[in-house]
Amino acid sequence: MERAAADLLLRLYLRLHHPKAYVPPLLSQLHFHFHTKAAHRRPDYHEDDRRKRNATGGSGGEPWDRSFRLDKGRGQHLLTNPRVLDSIARVACLRPSDTVLEIGPGTGNLTARLLQSARRVVAVEIDPRMVDSVLARASSIGLDDRLTVVTGDALKTDFPEFDICVANIPYGISSPLIAKLLFESGRPCSFRSAVLLLQKEFARRLLATPGDSEFNRLAANVRLVATVELMMDVSKKDFLPSPKVDSSLVRIQPKNDVPDVDLDEWLAFTRTCFSKKNKTLGAIFKQKKKIAELHSRSKSEGRASKINVDEAADEDVINDNDDENDDSDNLLEQDVSEISLFKEKIVWILKSEGFEAKRPSKLSNEELLRLLHLFNQEGVQFG
């Protein structure tokens, strides 16, 4: 009743003093309008965060006490859906005797499950606040005697012997971490598998086969030494805070029967082959700069013997300006004639088995290995 009277008075006042002003039909409606606007405003990060923290089921099921701010720059998106966490632990097929390597344990949502099934978990975590958090979590479930946490950057830490790596990794280190796992630990790899949660698009590229548009150098390198399987897709809604992209869980299993090839040589060879996306091998290998580089490498004797993991990590090595940096003008006359003979040899090798018109992204590893063998046989070295 009071509201109706106030409404009437205000209406009269507006009619007298501001005859052109818009007067809503009823002030109560105006009030209602403000309410709905507030109710539909997109919840900001903190509201969303609080709601998830207080939730006990669904995707917000794992606890997060907000005792410190999560650092998105370090990929701190916690996996909070208990069903997904349980599935990852199940897919890992842990044995009671296993030592598990976990990269980036965060607050320990996954670690808690790994500790329940394995003999030992060694976790590498870069953020000391997370280190405290995961240690406290392990102790709260009485399994801290099974956990060792190494504080540091996983890319710069020497990994211990482990049976299986299980991790929801920060996506920014996916390529170098996979390269480190597969190419740094010697051959054959001593671990059974790596079960990794990766950005969905990255996982698709890793799973791509020759001829697929996503197929790249990293996929070719990984396929040489391991098999990759898609285990499941995971929604971005299952993380706190939600990242912008969905994820996929993959299992990478080192092969027992890795082809007998010098890995250093292979990595350098794929670096050259994938240096120009969608160009033919003929176009790639006939670049003046590439020919001169291969010529001088093939002449020199002392070659590096340690695998360069950074080399293995590049997904593609695109350099379309190769010929612009050409310094062949500075070559001596003798070099020029040697290099032109060398070029003829390269072209002959490519033509001998029909590789010249082929694109590397469409070749199987068997074909790439064959081409590398042909080059090496004729004294052309890459590593």
Ligand X SMILES: C[S@@+](CC[C@H](N)C(=O)[O-])C[C@H]1O[C@@H](n2cnc3c(N)ncnc32)[C@H](O)[C@@H]1O
94: Cα separation from own chain's centroid: 23
Looking at the Cβ atoms of 76 and 272, the one nearer to ligand X is 76
For 79, list phi and psi in degrees, rounded to 5: -85, 120
Question: Counting beta carbons within 10 angstroms of the beta carbon of residue 98, is it exposed (0 to 12), middle (13 to 18) or buried (19 or more)?
Answer: buried
Looking at the Cβ atoms of 147 and 281, the one nearer to ligand X is 147
**E strand spans, 207-284:** 226-234, 239-240, 247-254
Kindly state whether residue 79 participates in binding ligand X, applying the rule CB under 6 A: yes
Pairing of strands 120-125, 147-151: parallel
Rounded to 10 degrees, what is the CA torsion of 60, 61, 65, 66? -20
Among 59, 81, 168, 275, binds ligand X (CB under 6 A): 168
> How far apart are CB 127 and ligand X at their closest, in Å?
4
Kindly state whether residue 78 participates in binding ligand X, applying the rule CB under 6 A: yes
> CB–CB of 272/285 below 8 Å?
yes
CA distance to 187, 269, 296, 297, per residue, from 302 (Å): 22, 17, 12, 9
The annotation status of 168 as a binding-site residue, yes or no, is yes
Contact set for ligand X, span 324-353 (CB under 6 A): none
Name the residue with the smallest CB distance to ligand X.
104
Kindly state whether residue 106 participates in binding ligand X, applying the rule CB under 6 A: yes
Structure tokens at 66: 């907000």
The annotation status of 295 as a binding-site residue, yes or no, is no
The side-by-side arrangement of strands in the sheet containing 147-151 is: 147-151, 120-125, 99-103, 164-168, 193-199, 247-254, 226-234
Structure tokens at 206: 């890793």
Among 60, 170, 254, 383, binds ligand X (CB under 6 A): 170
The annotation status of 153 as a binding-site residue, yes or no, is yes
Kindly state whether residue 217 participates in binding ligand X, applying the rule CB under 6 A: no
Considering only the stretches 122-130, 219-227, 255-263, 280-288, report the one whose residues sit in contact with ligand X under the rule CB under 6 A.
Answer: 122-130
> How far apart are CB 47 and ligand X at their closest, in Å?
21
> How far apart are CB 154 and ligand X at their closest, in Å?
4
Residue 110's identity, in one-letter code, is L
Pairing of strands 239-240, 78-79: antiparallel
Among 104, 210, 254, 360, binds ligand X (CB under 6 A): 104
Among 52, 77, 113, 120, binds ligand X (CB under 6 A): 77
Residue 136's identity, in one-letter code, is A
> CB–CB of 79/238 below 8 Å?
yes
What angle do helix axes 333-352 and 365-377 make, rounded to 10 degrees? 140
Among 112, 118, 122, 125, binds ligand X (CB under 6 A): 125
Kindly state whether residue 154 participates in binding ligand X, applying the rule CB under 6 A: yes
The annotation status of 379 as a binding-site residue, yes or no, is no
Kindly state whether residue 155 participates in binding ligand X, applying the rule CB under 6 A: yes
Kindly state whether residue 149 participates in binding ligand X, applying the rule CB under 6 A: no
What is the SS3 assignment for 125? strand
Nearest Cα to Cα of residue 81 among 103, 64, 57, 112: 57
Considering only the stretches 42-50, 166-174, 213-221, 345-353, report the one whose residues sit in contact with ligand X under the rule CB under 6 A.
Answer: 166-174
> CB–CB of 23/12 below 8 Å?
no
Among 84, 173, 196, 346, binds ligand X (CB under 6 A): 173
Considering only the stretches 28-36, 97-105, 179-187, 332-340, report the one whose residues sit in contact with ligand X under the rule CB under 6 A.
Answer: 97-105
Question: Counting beta carbons within 10 angstroms of the beta carbon of residue 84, is it exposed (0 to 12), middle (13 to 18) or buried (19 or more)?
Answer: buried
Among 52, 59, 75, 268, binds ligand X (CB under 6 A): 75
The footprint of ligand X on this chain (CB under 6 A) covers a number of residues equal to 23
β-strand partners of 234:
247
Specify binding-site residues for S-adenosyl-L-methionine: 77, 79, 104, 125, 153, 168
Q: Under the rule (CB under 6 A), what is the footprint of ligand X?
A: 74-79, 103-106, 109-110, 124-127, 130, 153-155, 168, 170, 173
Specify binding-site residues: 77, 79, 104, 125, 153, 168
